Amino acid sequence: MNKLRILHLEDDLIDAELIQLMLVKNGLECEILLAKTHSEYLAALDEGNFDLILSDSSVPGFSGQAAFETAQQKCPGVPFILVSATVNDREAAVYLDRGALDYISKNQLWRLVPTVRRAVTGGMTQQRSQNDLERYNLAMKQLVKVVQELSLARSLDEITAIVRVAARELTGADGATFVLREEDMCYYAEENAIRPLWKGKRFPINVCIGGWCMRHKQQVIIEDVYGDERIPYEAYYPTFIKSLVMVPIRKEAPIGAIGNYWATPHQPTPEEVELIQALADTTSVAMENVQVYNELEQRVRDRTAELEAANQKLEAFAYTLSHDLRSPLAAIDGYSTLLLNEYGSKIDEQAKLYFSRMCLAAERMNNQIEHMLSLHQLSRVEIQPQKVNLSNIAQEILAHLKASEPNRQVETTIQEELTAYGDPVLLRVVLENLLSNAWKYTSQRQKAQIEFGAMPKSNSSPTFYIRDNGAGFNMTYAQKLFRPFQRMHSQTEFSGTGVGLASVQRIIQKHGGNIWAEAAVDRGASFYFTLSEEQVQEGRR
């Protein structure tokens, strides 16, 4: 076959390269001119002299139908093959009715090479009799069904059961076998034949035709088994086999082979070999998928065991925090207070200061334990979602903060009727933490400003924000912001445990959203967060 000159309309360079590799690796010498745009395609057609045209269903501003009609006008008689992932059966039928050679899905590129061969060798379809054509079309439909079945197979036994039937029925052969490689042996795992062959037996790879096929990575087509030196005469003499085809499962490093046998002398047609090889290629993918699936299942089992162990450790840690640490801490705090109350008059001021600091440290540690336990419990809380009026919650929180410090001048702005779909208790925790932080970090401003609002919707989800003109922070350390016990300011400047924002992030993530911040030192901070109603609803199912 001379070198083919092919025009390919495709704007996806990865798909274009994959199709070119598919053609070249299957022995087709071709020069492919890639047209990525409408104008490049038209210019190439004007140049002409193509043996074949391949086209996607569309490129920007130019449909596959327009490409086909233009090709018919400028290059009449040149075979046109539609290669697309999006055209449905009805649209494909329209192309075929109007004269396109074939429609090939990008999910079934194994059909491309034999279709191209037929296109450039004078049209084998026209040479085939009507009965042969009907038989071939029926086999192709059956192959598509088999491909779908193999894609759903989750074990080697399922694959074997499917291949056992399909290998024989696709060509109407008198027998079929499914051979697997086991190191230096060929294992005849399954068969479907008019009389028993070698099911369940093993043979050295160098003494059987299945082994030859795998060792040489080649198809074997034998019209007369007794006239071919590769055939072990003693093994075949008791059988009905007169002719055969054997194809490898996976061309590189074959892992098996599929064979078809005939009881009378038979010259296997290229179409029959094509069907068996297509089945073998699909079987290879299915076997690799099963391996990956089994590995993933094992990883899931391992990961589940790891998570269960981690959860047990977390529960043990939470118990330690709640009981083993808090008990001695309570004793330290209690005895320190008792000493101050009963012996305060007998110790000097320096000693009193030491005891006060012990009590303060104990109280601070107890608060940290409380927040750690709260953070742990957040991961176990089940969301009870409903429509929540965030504006009303913000009003209540800020009213409480103002009542706690009535002498502060704080200008608050709350956008009205801001609603979200989520857990009302958890969303209140979010707003309490963010608004309390804004209140705390604006405490050194004579005229503090705090704002709660929402930005215009993006992808149907609004972005809420809480903004203040307080102390702010250095964005260089922003990656630490949501880590537990990480603080941007010292305890002497602003009190806190460093757990609040970590809790906020976990709640936001449980609602399928994100949270981030923008700030500058002494110029305030803005916290933004989103919530996903779809993911919240999905989490309930």
Mean pLDDT (10-residue bins), the chain, 541 residues:
83 89 85 92 86 90 89 87 83 83 86 83 48 71 84 86 88 92 92 91 91 92 90 88 92 90 89 89 86 75 74 59 66 80 82 80 70 62 84 92 88 92 87 90 89 79 91 82 64 60 85 90 91 68 47
pTM above threshold 0.85: no
CA pseudo-torsion sign 443, 447, 452, 453: negative
**Distance, CA of 276 to CA of 168 (rounded, Å):** 9
Q: Which residue has the tokens 């429609």?
A: 103
The reported pLDDT for the residue numbered 324 is: 61
**Distance, CA of 450 to CA of 469 (rounded, Å):** 7
Token pair, residue 503, equals 């809790």
**Distance, CA of 326 to CA of 403 (rounded, Å):** 32
Q: How many CB atoms lie within 10 A of CB 459?
A: 6
Of 389, 460, 407, 402, the closest CA to residue 435 belongs to 402
DSSP state of 522: T
**Distance, CA of 188 to CA of 256 (rounded, Å):** 9
Of 73, 101, 105, the closest CA to residue 89 belongs to 105
The reported pLDDT for the residue numbered 418 is: 92
Residues 59, 36: contact at Cβ < 8 Å?
yes
Could you give the count of Cα atoms lying within 13 Å of 248 in the half-sphere of its Cβ? 16
The reported pLDDT for the residue numbered 130 is: 55
The reported pLDDT for the residue numbered 124 is: 39
Residues 74, 45: contact at Cβ < 8 Å?
yes
Residues 56, 83: contact at Cβ < 8 Å?
yes
The reported pLDDT for the residue numbered 115 is: 85
Residues 264, 242: contact at Cβ < 8 Å?
yes
